[in-house]
Chains A and B, each alone.
Chain A
Amino acid sequence: MSAERLVAALERRRATAQIVPAADAAGAAAERVAGWGSGRVLLADDPVLDGLGLPAALAAAGPQMLRWPEGRDLGWRDLLGLDGAAATCGVTVPALAVAERGTLVLAAGPGHGRAIDVVSMHHLAVLPASRIRETLAEALTEAYAAPGRAPSAISLVSGPSRTSDIEKISTLGAHGALAMHVIVVEDR
């Protein structure tokens, strides 16, 4: 199964991941956000999240809820966590994913800010299982095949932010998310 392989590959890349039926997705997301202790949640505006009842489940725990693009109005300093702003969990919905190497394909759009996952301290991705592809070539060819203008930005994300610039030892949370969790939602 490609979903299992994606999970295994993500774990190799120091992300965490789980496969859940649609009914359990909101609960799994709320549990993860509580585990991180996020004081703020910044959600992509995507019907997948609403369909799963995710915004309501996350709000129940009491963090400040921000939806893209309105969340952008706070300004970058605040969203970047400067001046004592709360640690943010960015919630994204990938357009596609690549099973063989544990990669999410995040496409920018009106509801999908291109920086949501990297301005945040933690990154939670909610991925319908039917969007998993086998190879990078397959996913990229598909992502750019649609007629009309290509997405202005596509971010391939394979795990939490890392650097090896100090002593060649890999350390997480360099500039982007310190931790990344993927909830693969069964949808077929």
Chain B
Amino acid sequence: MFTLDAAPAWLLAAVLAVLPWVASTSLRDAISAPKQAILLPAAAMVVLLVPISRAQLNASPRQVPLALIPVVVVVAFLLSPFHRETLLGWYGVRLGMLTWVSAGVLGVAAALLAANPTYARVIRLGGVSGLCIVALLALARRPERAQHSSSCE
């Protein structure tokens, strides 16, 4: 599984596993900047790793609409009367143009890699890891919330 050609899949898995933790308050994330800060280089690194690792890609016309999502978002951003406001997105939400493009690149990378069972397994493992991390983080924070809840009842 740890072969060079699987490197983009491992990177994708790592992003999926880490992103929910980055989204937690462990990085003082009253805002969403750390998520954006991770997403942008991650998307760029996937683009770089695909040719370097000589990963096996599987394309199909079915993937065209998925690939068009970031393109249309960029066009909407360019035509928007709110250029400065929509580059990063609304503070605290951060679903700005850069987030959409990064997420779109990761989605297209997943689509191109998905036909290879090894790559797909690695990416899915990353996704499930993210789910488990979030569940454990939620459980760990529970006593603090319980105190708040009891004082409100």
- Do A and B share a complex? no
Q: Which residues in B have some Cβ–Cβ distance to A below 8 Å?
A: none
Q: Which residues in A have some Cβ–Cβ distance to B below 8 Å?
A: none
